[in-house]
Chain A
Amino acid sequence: MSRALVVAIFLVLLVLHQDFWLRDNASLVLEIVPIGLAYHMSFTVLAALFWLAVVRLAWPYSHEDEDDQGGEQ
């Protein structure tokens, strides 16, 4: 995953965070969770998946860096 793609997805997520379209929608999902809250719960899961993708596909540290562990012991 290229750096440009990571930045682009991050920006899209920032835009999705501003869910003005649900601003005055008081309906309850499953009669329990207000829809605005359910949306942001889904957003949180999406954010975790995004960071999982970054860790798996765009991790900036090489093996050499990874092996360079806690050298002060």
Chain B
Amino acid sequence: MTQTVIVIIYLALLLTLGYLSGRMFRGNSNDYFVASRSIGPTVLFMSIFGTTMTAFAMVGSTAESFRVGIGTYGKIASSSALIHSACFFLVGLPLWALGKRNGFHTQIEFFRARFESSKLGYLLFPILVGLIIPYLLVGLMGAGSVMQGVTRGAFPEFFPSTGGAVPPWLTCLVISGVVLYYIFAGGVRSAAWANTFQTLVFIIMGFIAFVTISAKLGGLQAASSMADPSKAVRAGNMTEMQFLSYCLIPLSVGMFPHLFQNCLTAKSAKSFRLTLVGHPLAIMLTWIPCILIGFWATGAVMPDGVTPVIPEGTSPNAVLGMMVGKLATPVIGGLVTAGIMAAIMSSLDSQFVAVGTMFTKDIVVHSYGPERFSESQLVLLARGFICAIVLVTYLLTLVEPRQVFSLGIWCFSGFAGLFPLIFAAIYWKKATKLGAYAAVIGGAASWLLMFQASGYGKNSSFMVAGVMPVAIVFATCAICMIAGSLLSQPPRQETLDKFFRKRVKV
């Protein structure tokens, strides 16, 4: 009960923040979509970091650490520390400069102009939106699992079928409603403000969870000594090729449409400096507590010294919620749950805004022309499409659940696999329209075939020839881009002059 009340208070705070930032909204689509390109270094850093950390980082990392041990941190977090910043440096910065100069609001506008093809946008749109849906699913499913874990037994009269816990369908509904409210109030500006606040909340609450749980287990040393030693190593939990190919996953941030939009909100190139340096450290602060909690959960017992905290057969998704629910006081449990919700919502908001922007700019305005709709109609259209996508995602949360980590990896693999497309667009003058089409179709087809072969994410250990599917998608996309470009005429000089001016010196 206490946990639920604290979460409700937190959600009310967010609604207030949404209301306040909505009052600053300038009423035009440029402010709604890219905050009039006015975001400074601190908010940019917090906003980008909050966006990249979702249920995957807290619920998923704890679950994966519980399942395959501490190698989880190396295979995804420490590689991200290096590669995410590389993406911001090599992709985010040039895109910010090109976006500002040419007035781009979305990735698709950039690709259409760079590859001189209007139809490329219609091909990319369903792929990018289709890949965002599993990402949204990860967030909503994570929120549902955690809330169910920490409220077990709290409302036996209302929810007897879940043992008195708040059911995932209700959590997903409330979370979606809150995020929709504050982004509708002020678009990407609201999302940036909310992200900044929520990033602080989830880092602090993660640390509180870590301290509280370790104290309850008898201290840091006692907690680690209880853990299963086989989970303290990579051997037996993952192969070296798997570990190596995981390094490609963080390249996904270079292709996330919502991060593209986040980058466009920057006030200046200098705004990115804090993000480059702070992002790796913030990853460590967020992931380490969760990885250790997952590791401790492999052998943790209740204060009676006999009963395991995590009963056999528990879903890995529920590990964080159960560790917090069973080992923290109700107040701490509520605060930590609010922190987890913060991590989840700080990604959902940017993703919601991004799909709305893409629909409005890349489909509606592109098809009907900029004069056909007024500014307020465009914002309304964006909101309508966002609601439709949220509804689809919500309905998907009601079908058979998947592991948060596994589903997240599939989503990231799709985006990371398309990285050669954006990299070639920025750095290779000979990259052509044919190459871009081949890269998108080849990458998407290989992803879809493997996703289907894995039982749509059901087989969480799915690999091809010992490597992660992302390596296959990435290689297919890169080969198609190179072959298609070499087999066709280079872009017009006029286009190249627009994208390869001397001022973009990265």
A: residues with CB less than 8 A from B are 10, 13-14, 17-20, 22-26, 28, 30-34, 36-37, 39-41, 43-45, 47-48, 50-52, 54-55, 59-62, 64-73
The answer to whether B268 and A32 touch across the interface, beta carbons within 8 angstroms, is no
Residue of A40, A59, A69 with most partner-chain B CB within 10 A: A40
Determine the distance from Cα of A61 to Cα of B270 in the docked complex, in whole angstroms. 8
The answer to whether A26 and B221 touch across the interface, beta carbons within 8 angstroms, is no
The answer to whether B85 and A51 touch across the interface, beta carbons within 8 angstroms, is yes
**With an 8 A cutoff between CB atoms, is B281 at the interface?**
yes
User: Nearest Cβ distance between residue B69 and chain A, in whole angstroms?
Assistant: 8
Beyond contacts A18-B240, A24-B236, A51-B89: 6 other A-B pairs, Cβ-Cβ < 8 A, are: A25-B233, A32-B221, A37-B291, A40-B77, A44-B284, A48-B280
Interface of chain B residues 19 through 41 with chain A (CB within 8 A): 30, 36-38
**With an 8 A cutoff between CB atoms, is B113 at the interface?**
no
**With an 8 A cutoff between CB atoms, is B326 at the interface?**
no
Q: Is the interface of B mostly helix, strand, loop or mixed?
A: helix
**With an 8 A cutoff between CB atoms, is B74 at the interface?**
yes
The answer to whether A55 and B273 touch across the interface, beta carbons within 8 angstroms, is yes
Q: Which of B78, B276, B506 contacts A44 (CB 8 A)?
A: B78
- In the complex, residue of chain A having the shortest beta-carbon distance to the beta carbon of B278: A48
The answer to whether B281 and A70 touch across the interface, beta carbons within 8 angstroms, is no
The answer to whether A72 and B37 touch across the interface, beta carbons within 8 angstroms, is yes
Question: A55: which B residues are within 8 A, CB to CB?
Answer: 273, 276-277
The answer to whether A36 and B277 touch across the interface, beta carbons within 8 angstroms, is no
Determine the distance from Cα of A70 to Cα of B279 in the docked complex, in whole angstroms. 23
The answer to whether A47 and B81 touch across the interface, beta carbons within 8 angstroms, is yes
The answer to whether A47 and B38 touch across the interface, beta carbons within 8 angstroms, is no
The answer to whether B284 and A45 touch across the interface, beta carbons within 8 angstroms, is yes
User: Nearest Cβ distance between residue B439 and chain A, in whole angstroms?
Assistant: 24
Residue of A34, A43, A62 with most partner-chain B CB within 10 A: A34
The answer to whether B229 and A26 touch across the interface, beta carbons within 8 angstroms, is yes
Question: B78: which A residues are within 8 A, CB to CB?
Answer: 17, 40-41, 43-44, 47
7 contacts between A and B (CB under 8 A): A17-B247, A28-B225, A34-B224, A34-B233, A43-B81, A51-B276, A60-B505
**With an 8 A cutoff between CB atoms, is B119 at the interface?**
no
User: Nearest Cβ distance between residue B378 and chain A, in whole angstroms?
Assistant: 16
Question: Which 5 A-B pairs have CB atoms at the shortest separation, nearest pair first?
Answer: A24-B235, A34-B232, A40-B78, A48-B280, A69-B268
The answer to whether B97 and A65 touch across the interface, beta carbons within 8 angstroms, is yes
Question: B71: which A residues are within 8 A, CB to CB?
Answer: 36
Given A37-B291, A61-B505, check contact A45 B281 (CB 8 Å).
Answer: yes
Question: A64: which B residues are within 8 A, CB to CB?
Answer: 503
The answer to whether A70 and B82 touch across the interface, beta carbons within 8 angstroms, is no
Determine the distance from Cα of A52 to Cα of B273 in the docked complex, in whole angstroms. 8
The answer to whether B281 and A44 touch across the interface, beta carbons within 8 angstroms, is yes
Question: B458: which A residues are within 8 A, CB to CB?
Answer: none
Question: A71: which B residues are within 8 A, CB to CB?
Answer: 37, 100
Determine the distance from Cα of A68 to Cα of B501 in the docked complex, in whole angstroms. 15
The answer to whether B273 and A14 touch across the interface, beta carbons within 8 angstroms, is no
Q: Which of A17, A26, A47, A65 contacts B74 (CB 8 A)?
A: A17
Question: A62: which B residues are within 8 A, CB to CB?
Answer: 505
**With an 8 A cutoff between CB atoms, is B79 at the interface?**
yes
User: Nearest Cβ distance between residue B280 and chain A, in whole angstroms?
Assistant: 4
The answer to whether A59 and B225 touch across the interface, beta carbons within 8 angstroms, is no
**With an 8 A cutoff between CB atoms, is B244 at the interface?**
yes
- In the complex, residue of chain A having the shortest beta-carbon distance to the beta carbon of B288: A41
Interface of chain B residues 327 through 360 with chain A (CB within 8 A): none
Q: Mark B93-122, 1 if CB is under 8 A from A, else 0.
A: 100010010000000000000000000000
Question: A28: which B residues are within 8 A, CB to CB?
Answer: 224-225, 232
User: Nearest Cβ distance between residue B275 and chain A, in whole angstroms?
Assistant: 9
The answer to whether A72 and B30 touch across the interface, beta carbons within 8 angstroms, is yes
**With an 8 A cutoff between CB atoms, is B269 at the interface?**
yes
The answer to whether A23 and B224 touch across the interface, beta carbons within 8 angstroms, is no
Determine the distance from Cα of A39 to Cα of B232 in the docked complex, in whole angstroms. 12
The answer to whether A13 and B82 touch across the interface, beta carbons within 8 angstroms, is yes
Given A48-B281, A51-B277, check contact A36 B233 (CB 8 Å).
Answer: yes
Question: A48: which B residues are within 8 A, CB to CB?
Answer: 81, 277-278, 280-281
Q: Which of B74, B225, B269 contacts A31 (CB 8 A)?
A: B225
- In the complex, residue of chain B having the shortest beta-carbon distance to the beta carbon of A31: B221
Question: A60: which B residues are within 8 A, CB to CB?
Answer: 93, 505-506
Given A34-B70, A37-B70, check contact A50 B233 (CB 8 Å).
Answer: no
Q: Mark B237-268, 1 if CB is under 8 A from A, else 0.
A: 00010011001000000000000000000011
